[in-house]
Amino acid sequence: MSKVLIIGAGGVGNVVVKKCAQASHVFTDIMLASRTKSKCDAIAAEVGGDRIKTAAVDADNVPELVALIKSFNPKLVINVALPYQDLTIMEACLQTNTHYMDTANYEPKDVAKFEYKWQWAYHDRFKAAGLIALLGCGFDPGVTGVFTAYAQKHHFDEMHYLDIVDCNAGDHGKSFATNFNPEINIREITQKGKYWLDGQWVETEPLEINRIINYPHVGGKDSYLLFHEELESLVKNFPSIKRARFWMTFSKNYINHLNVLQNVGMTRIDPVKYNGVDIVPLQFLKAVLPEPSSLAENYSGQTSIGCHIRGKKDGKDKYYFIYNNCDHAETFKEVNAQAISYTTGVPAMVGAMMILTGEWMKAGVYNVEEFNPDPFLEQLAKYGLPWHEHVNDNQFVEFKD
Ligand code: NDP
């Protein structure tokens, strides 16, 4: 019997809850808690049958979290609130002897800078308590790390070049919207780019480097080099990697909107006075943009996310590509969600399943690539995200340089 507490009732939380409910042999009792309880209740009603308990919680408040965790007594907390809440939820897990996992690494509200250092600093405390904290178990970060671990285990003696490619070729019909929390999304895109080269980070201006990348079943799309959090843990855990980059597609329309918003100051994260009240422009912008979960109904097209890897096997050069494509309309039909929420929520459920079944269990703070990728990828395909591999297949060689 395994009780799980899910915190955060947004686009991703909706998918995690429904996927955990589908795997009732592992998740026997489920509670969904979030800042706005009515959102939890709406998701619980869709699952039906009194399967999901709900609660209100302010996850910035450790004593409130501790009281909730003590009252429900889960084995694991799945954090799908916002990255700002990572440390308070980790702290509450330590105080209540509860395992922890999330899908995005901590960043402070007042600095747009995400790094693992704050969460890795908890390693000794989790280890001493005999608890696991599993970090970044969505798609990217998450599945991209597991794909890389799978490549190392089954295909390479040494990996040298890693390019993670993330394409959303979907159309939601809105002139501008973000696919996950707008504040987090815009902070990520407007900061400087960064990639790993020969043992150090190379910094770029925001969206300075771009190229057209071919995505399976989608075709060529404008893709931009960004810094993405899994690069930090992957180059640490696979030191043979000489270069690691992350690419994401954006349409010209999206970039134009973003440029205008930036130029007029709407993406600022420092408070400005308005009518005597402090407001943060980016938080105000979030309030007027569509909720990511509301995009699901009319979304068409697919996402395509994968890893292109080059390296050596048995002394020979090898090119390996592994990816998943996910269809917005299909995920809407299944769980009332768009594919970005789905591709994050399914791996979060599978990661939780790995912990609760003991497949992935060691005390301390870890990233997904530090565990056996095989059982994870088996369940991932079973629960809605099938993946595909191409080995030395010229049709899928994107990165020759
Ligand atoms: P949403 O904004 O849709 O949902 C976030 C939820 O967290 C909301 O229900 C919100 O409550 C709740 N929340 C925010 N602050 C608090 C708080 N202090 N206490 C309690 N609840 C709170 O975001 P998404 O569902 O799109 O994203 C969820 C997480 O998933 C984010 O951390 C995001 O970065 C991550 N993510 C990871 C990806 C990956 O591939 N690894 C991809 C996409 C997202 P309210 O409704 O009241 O605002």
In tens, the pLDDT along 199-218 reads 999 999 999 999 999 999 99
User: Which pLDDT does position 126 carry in this prediction?
Assistant: 98
CATH number attached to the domain at 3-135: 3.40.50.720
| C-alpha of residue 232 to centroid of ligand 1, in Å | 22
CA dist., res. 203 & res. 196, Å (int): 9
Q: Which pLDDT score is estimated for 388?
A: 98
Distance 34 CA to ligand 1 centre (A): 9
More confident residue, 70 or 255: 70
Instruction: Pull the structure tokens for residue 179.
Output: 């696919």
Q: How confident is the model at residue 93 (pLDDT cuts 50, 70, 90)?
A: very high
The mean pLDDT of 284-311, rounded to a whole number, is 93
Please state, for a pLDDT cut of 70, what percent of the chain lies above it: 100
Cα–Cα dist 21/389, whole Å: 30
Q: Which atom of ligand 1 is nearest to the CA of 59?
A: 19
Class of domain 143-337+386-396: alpha beta
Sequence-distant (≥ 6) Cβ neighbours of residue 387 within 8 angstroms: 143, 147, 322, 323, 324, 377, 380, 381
pLDDT value of position 189: 86
**Ligand 1 mutation target, pool 91, 344, 368, 385, most atoms within 8 A of CB:** 344
Residue 352, pLDDT > 90, answer yes
Rounded CA-CA distance 394/297 in Å is: 37
Q: Is ligand 1 within 6 A of the CB of residue 57? A: yes
Assess whether pLDDT exceeds 80 at residue 309.
yes
Q: Is the CB of 9 under 6 A from ligand 1?
A: yes
pLDDT for the residue 186: 86
Pocket-testing residue among 180, 289, 303, ligand 1, by greatest number of atoms within 8 A of Cβ = 180
User: What pLDDT, on the 0 to 100 scale, is given for residue 111?
Assistant: 74
* Residue range 323-336, pLDDT digits in tens: 999 999 999 999 99
Residue 292 has pLDDT above 90, yes or no: no
Whether the CB-CB separation of 396 and 305 falls below 8 Å is answered with no
Query: In whole numbers, what is the pLDDT of the chain averaged over residues?
Result: 95
Whether 176 has a pLDDT exceeding 80, the answer reads yes
* Cα 324 from Cα 342, distance rounded (Å): 12
Q: How far is residue 157's CA from residue 145's CA, in Å, rounded to a whole number? A: 17
Residue extent(s) of CATH 3.30.360.10 domains in the chain: 143-337+386-396
Is the shortest distance between the CB of 82 and ligand 1 below 6 Å?
yes
- Is 36's C-beta closer than 6 angstroms to any atom of ligand 1? yes
74 lines ligand 1 (CB under 6 A): no
Q: Supply the pTM of this predicted model.
A: 0.96
Is 30 or 113 the better-scoring residue by pLDDT? Answer: 30
Measure the CA–CA gap between 54 and 85, rounded to whole angstroms. 19
> How far apart are the C-alpha atoms of 288 and 161, rounded to whole Å?
41
pLDDT mean over 273-289: 94
Cα(9) to ligand 1 centroid in Å equals: 7
Helices assigned H by DSSP within 238-312: 252-263, 281-288
Q: Which pLDDT belongs to residue 294?
A: 86
The CB of 31 under 6 Å from ligand 1? The reply is: no
- Positions of CATH 3.40.50.720 in the chain: 3-135
Tell me the β-bridge partners of 213: 221
Per-residue pLDDT at 210 = 96
Q: What is the DSSP letter of 84?
A: G
Q: Which of 229, 230, 226, 232 is nearest to 248 (CA)?
A: 226
What pLDDT was estimated at residue 293?
81
198: left (phi over 0), alpha (psi -120 to 50) or beta: left
